[in-house]
Every structure is written in C-alpha cells, then in structure tokens.
Amino acid sequence: MTPFHAGVVTALVTLALDQASKLGLYFGTDLVMTGPWRVAPFADLVVVWNRGISYGLFQQEGGIGRWLLVALSLVASVGLSVWMHRAGSRLLAVALGLIVGGALGNAIDRAAYGAVFDFVHLHAGTWSWYVFNVADAAIVAGVVGLILDSLRPVARPPDSAAPEGEGPRP
C-alpha cells in the first residue's frame, strides 16, 4: 500500500469511527438525559457542545462564525490531503490522514448541529482535562505523528551526500 493510500484509509476510518461514536452516543443512548456516566475512576462520558475550536477557544454563537469554522476545516483538509499525496513515508501520510479525518468529523458536526459533540472527560482528583471526542484524539495523534516524522533522519543515496559538482572521492 502506498503512503497516500494508507493516509486515505486512515482518514476514512477516523471519520467513520468519529461519526459512529458521536451518533451512537447521542442517538443510541440516553446520555443526554442521564449523564454524566462514570466509565473509570478517571473518565466520564458527558455531553458538551463545543461552538469553538480546541479547548473551547473562539466560541461562535452566530451562523457566520460557524460556517467560517466549517470552511476553515475543509480548506485545511484539502491542503493536508495534497501534502498527504506528496508524502514520502507511511508515517507522514497516516499522521496527515488522522488530522484530515478528525477535521472532517468535527466539520460535519458544525455543519449539521452548529457545534461539535464532545463526550470524553478525563480527570484525576481536582484536576480536570478538557472534554474531547474521537476526532480531537485523532488530530492530537496526527500531530504527534508529524513531530515523530520530522525527527526521523532523511535517507539519502550515498552520491547525494557530496556537494554539487564533486563526485564521490576515491
């Protein structure tokens, strides 16, 4: 499988898992009426509608802001997909696929509901992390993948190590 195909499959699987988890929890359970649900001593399922971006920044109450965030997500997804098409490694393509799938999943929420459905709340004692969803987790994992890919040494053919105009030395 080429890096690009691996990235596209990753994006599609991420998008499907994100939307299935959101639709399943929202329409397939009574979480909205009975939550939060404790699933572990450090994790709850809750319903939070995020009208902004990461960490609740740039909250949008009006339609213009909502559609600007949808458009931004779509433009970013197209740009990242072009980068994915040019990716030379499977790690880079999969990382970009995670980000594209997550961005599209959250864009679908914004377009359909006016906000992103977040539902995972991690906490420990009095410490509380923000509420997120599968798309958010995929975006974070994708960024980690981009960082890891940037730290990998670039493989060069032996002849390309010499400055231009100089051949390999005998």
The structure tokens 């809750």 sit at: 46
Q: Is residue 161 part of a domain?
A: no
Q: Tell me, what's the pLDDT at 163?
A: 61
Number of domains in the chain: 1
pLDDT in tens, 135-156: 999 999 999 999 999 998 877 6
Decide if pLDDT at 66 tops 70: yes
Decide if pLDDT at 103 tops 60: yes
Please give the Cα distance from 68 to 78 (Å, whole number): 15
- Calculate the alpha carbon distances from 39 to 23, 35, 49, 83 in Å: 19, 11, 20, 38
Work out the widest C-alpha separation in the chain, in whole angstroms. 77
pLDDT in tens, 9-20: 999 999 999 999
Q: Is residue 71 part of a domain?
A: yes
Q: Is residue 170 part of a domain?
A: no
Written in H, E and C, the secondary structure of 95-107 is HHHHHHHHHHHHH
Q: Is residue 59 part of a domain?
A: yes
Among 2-11, 14-23, 144-153, 158-167, the minimum mean pLDDT is found in: 158-167
What kind and span of H or E run contains 121? strand 116-124
Q: Tell me, what's the pLDDT at 110?
A: 93
Domain that holds residue 7: 3-152
Q: Is residue 165 part of a domain?
A: no
Q: Is residue 157 part of a domain?
A: no
Decide if pLDDT at 32 tops 60: yes
Please give the Cα distance from 125 to 64 (Å, whole number): 39
Decide if pLDDT at 85 tops 90: yes
* Residues designated catalytic: 118, 136
- Closest C-alpha among 54, 103, 51, 53 to residue 78: 103
Average pLDDT over residues 105-130: 93
Q: Tell me, what's the pLDDT at 56?
A: 54
Reading the block at residue 120, the tokens are 């995972």
Q: Is residue 130 part of a domain?
A: yes
Decide if pLDDT at 60 tops 80: no
Reading the block at residue 27, the tokens are 């329409």
